């Protein structure tokens, strides 16, 4: 679901604010008809058109405007000729630029991406290779580093006024105004009361799922405060260059899984998120004098996600394909995506799975574009033997057109120069021909 809360879709904006809420699809939205961000502006329903239905692949599609078969991020993790690949780590990087890359390179405006999740923050922000090449001073990418226990920058050479530690977060959350909720922090227990919804609950900040959610809420609030107070960023907000802010909420998935959709903890989280998004959009719109385009994208959970935890179903499917996969360990690591030893057997195995499995509980998706797998899963990344990147067929065709067109043009110019150089400039020349005029006495 896509909620556009800007005043005019096609108006000229000074900034764009993209807010992505993961694991919160239409079925969950129907339970919360009174959300502020869904009752302002325009609403659109977006159908998933790509496979696999993975959040990182989908966010990469939003960030680049291209499909997974083009940008190359086909999943959170996948298998290639080089082994297990993790999106946005090591060599598993997109093959095309993002909107953040374009804004930071062409306009040098503010580009911000943030999330508790490293992969989501990376997908929405300036890509690492682009940052290394241009070193944009106004590009910020923020994620939570569990090892150092603090918000950190995506870029090794970047410093940011948006970073905070766990202790700083707890200090801030105790005095944070959540607009629609009354909160008090007692040790690690955050007491929350929402009068409008008559919801009263307690969040334990020592719980991973709770901490992740409020850390993302805090990062978004800190972003607005820094834009208001930091002199350098205030100047950039006031200039005429376009700015881009992208934020992905990855934490609702954990809260939903731990407490359930009908729990007071999850319901309170949804309303706190809603009031925060609504407040941030309004405050940033005021900063940009109403010239802000804002979009809130609610992404549903992939129907295949729950299968990765279904041990009985994994065992059932493995028994049908055990002779066609590399190993049981490899099969379990990538399930429900199945990598075959022999791709030529894909159609036969797909038909076998469709007939053997209960279609009411599990549907088998058989990709019809086999070239997509060859290109994205195996030929996308560098060859281990020589470190070179394979050339795509379309790139090779473009190269051939440019090469032979250039050679042909050089030959034509050479022939023209040669002809002019050897031209007879005598009296019989067409250019220099002289005619005798008639004289009348």
Q: Write out the DSSP string of 373-389.
A: HIIIIISSSPPTTT-PP
What tokens does 214 get? 């409020």
For the cut 50, the answer to whether the pLDDT of residue 242 exceeds it is yes
- Answer yes or no: is pLDDT of 157 > 90: no
Report how far Cα 312 is from the mean position of its chain's Cα atoms: 33
Q: What's the CA gap between 9 and 356, in Å, rounded?
A: 49
Q: Residue 188: CB partners within 8 Å, gap ≥ 6?
A: 204, 205, 206
Q: DSSP state, 345? A: G
**pTM (whole model) above 0.75:** no
Contact 201, 264 (CB under 8 A): yes
- Residues carrying CATH 3.40.720.10, the chain: 2-300
Q: Could you tell me the end-to-end alpha-carbon distance of the chain, in angstroms, rounded to an integer?
A: 97
> Is the peptide bond between 336 and the residue preceding it cis, with omega within 30 degrees of 0?
yes
Q: State pLDDT tens for residues 12-63.
A: 689 999 999 998 988 899 999 999 998 888 888 776 655 566 889 889 999 9
pLDDT above 50: residue 374: no
The dihedrals phi and psi of 222, each to the nearest 5 degrees, come to: -65, -35
Work out the burial of residue 283: count CB atoms within 10 Å of its CB; fewer than 13 is exposed, 13-18 middle, 19 or more buried: middle
Cα 42 to Cα 294: distance, rounded to the nearest angstrom: 11
Average pLDDT on 392-412 reads 73
Give the whole-number percent of the chain exceeding pLDDT 90.
Answer: 36
Average pLDDT, the chain: 81
Higher pLDDT: 370 or 118? It is: 118
In this predicted structure, the answer to whether residue 79 has a pLDDT above a threshold of 90 is no
CATH assignment of 2-300?
3.40.720.10
Task: Kindly tell me if the per-residue pLDDT of 323 is higher than 50.
Answer: yes
Q: What is the pLDDT of residues 180-213, one digit of tens each?
A: 788 898 988 999 999 999 999 999 999 999 999 9
Whether residue 194 contacts residue 180, with contact meaning beta carbons closer than 8 Å, is answered with yes
**Contact in structure between 377 and 78 (CB atoms under 8 Å):** yes
At 368 the pLDDT is: 56
Candidates 288, 296, 236, 289; CA nearest to 270 is 296
Whether the bond between 52 and the residue before it is cis, its omega within 30 degrees of 0, is yes
Window from 116-125, 378-387, 395-404, 431-440 with minimum mean pLDDT: 378-387
Predicted pLDDT at 289: 92
Which of 155, 167, 78, 74 lies closest to 121, judged by CA? 155
Which string of DSSP letters, residue by residue, matches 297-342? EE-PPPTTGGGGG-HHHHHHHHHHHTTSSS-HHHHHHHTTS---S-
> Which percentage of the chain shows pLDDT scores above 70?
79
* 83-86 vs 77-80, strand pairing mode: antiparallel
CA distances from 385 to 81, 82, 342, 376, 381 (A): 11, 10, 22, 19, 12
CA–CA gap between residue 216 and residue 390 (Å, rounded) = 39
For residues 211 and 229, give the distance between their C-alpha atoms in angstroms, rounded to a whole number.
26
Task: Give the whole-angstrom CA distance, residue 339 versus residue 335.
Answer: 9
Round to whole Å and give the CA distance between 361 and 120: 30
What is the Cα–Cα distance from 71 to 87, expressed in whole angstroms? 11
Instruction: Report which of 301, 361, 307 is spatially closest to residue 338, judged by C-alpha positions.
Output: 307
Q: Dihedral sign, CA of 140, 142, 147, 150?
A: positive
- Looking at residue 422, what is its pLDDT? 76
Tell me if 71 sits within 8 A of 33, measured CB to CB. no
Close Cβ partners of 42 (under 8 Å, ≥ 6 residues apart)? 3, 4, 9
Output the pLDDT for position 6. Answer: 47
SS3 91: coil
d(CA 199, CA 195): 7
The answer to which of 69-78, 144-153, 287-296 has the lowest mean pLDDT is 69-78
């Amino acid at each position: 679901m896509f909620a556009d809360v800007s005043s005019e879709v096609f108006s000229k904006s000074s900034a764009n604010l993209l807010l992505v809420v993961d694991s919160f699809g239409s079925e969950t939205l129907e339970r919360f008809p009174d959300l502020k961000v869904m009752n302002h502006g325009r609403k659109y329903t977006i159908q998933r058109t790509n496979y696999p239905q993975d959040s990182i692949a989908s966010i990469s599609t939003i960030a680049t405007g291209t499909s997974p078969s083009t940008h190359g991020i086909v999943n959170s993790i996948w298998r290639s000729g080089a082994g297990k690949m993790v999106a946005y780590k090591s060599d598993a990087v997109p093959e095309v630029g993002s909107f953040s890359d374009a804004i930071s390179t062409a306009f040098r405006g503010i580009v911000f991406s943030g999330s508790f999740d490293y992969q989501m923050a990376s997908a929405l922000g300036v890509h690492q290779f682009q940052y290394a090449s241009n070193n944009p001073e106004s590009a910020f990418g923020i994620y939570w580093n569990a090892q150092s226990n603090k918000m950190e920058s995506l870029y090794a050479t970047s410093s940011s006024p948006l970073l905070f530690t766990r202790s700083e977060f707890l200090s801030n959350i105790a005095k944070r105004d959540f607009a629609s909720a009354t909160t008090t922090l007692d040790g690690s227990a955050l007491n929350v009361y929402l009068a409008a919804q008559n919801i009263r609950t307690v969040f334990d900040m020592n719980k991973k799922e709770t901490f992740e959610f409020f850390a993302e809420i805090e990062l978004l609030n800190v972003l607005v405060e820094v834009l208001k107070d930091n002199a350098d960023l205030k100047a950039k907000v006031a200039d005429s260059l376009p700015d881009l802010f992208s934020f992905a909420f990855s934490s609702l998935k954990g809260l939903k899984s731990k407490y359930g959709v009908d729990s007071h903890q999850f319901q309170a989280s949804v309303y706190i998120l809603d009031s925060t998004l609504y407040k941030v959009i309004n405050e940033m719109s005021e900063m940009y004098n109403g010239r802000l385009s804002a979009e809130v994208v609610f992404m549903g959970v992939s129907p295949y996600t729950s299968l990765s935890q279904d041990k009985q179903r994994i065992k059932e499917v493995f028994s049908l394909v055990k002779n066609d996969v590399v190993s049981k360990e490899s099969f379990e690591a990538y399930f429900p995506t199945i990598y075959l030893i022999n791709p030529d057997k894909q159609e036969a195995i797909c038909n076998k799975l469709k007939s053997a499995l209960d279609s009411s509980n599990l549907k088998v998706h058989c990709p019809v574009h086999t070239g997509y797998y060859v290109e994205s899963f195996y030929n996308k990344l560098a060859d281990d033997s020589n470190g070179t990147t394979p050339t795509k067929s379309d790139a090779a065709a473009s190269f051939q057109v440019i090469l032979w067109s250039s050679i042909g043009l050089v030959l034509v110019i050479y022939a023209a120069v040669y002809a002019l150089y050897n031209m007879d400039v005598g009296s019989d020349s067409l250019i220099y021909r002289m005619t005798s005029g008639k004289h009348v006495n």
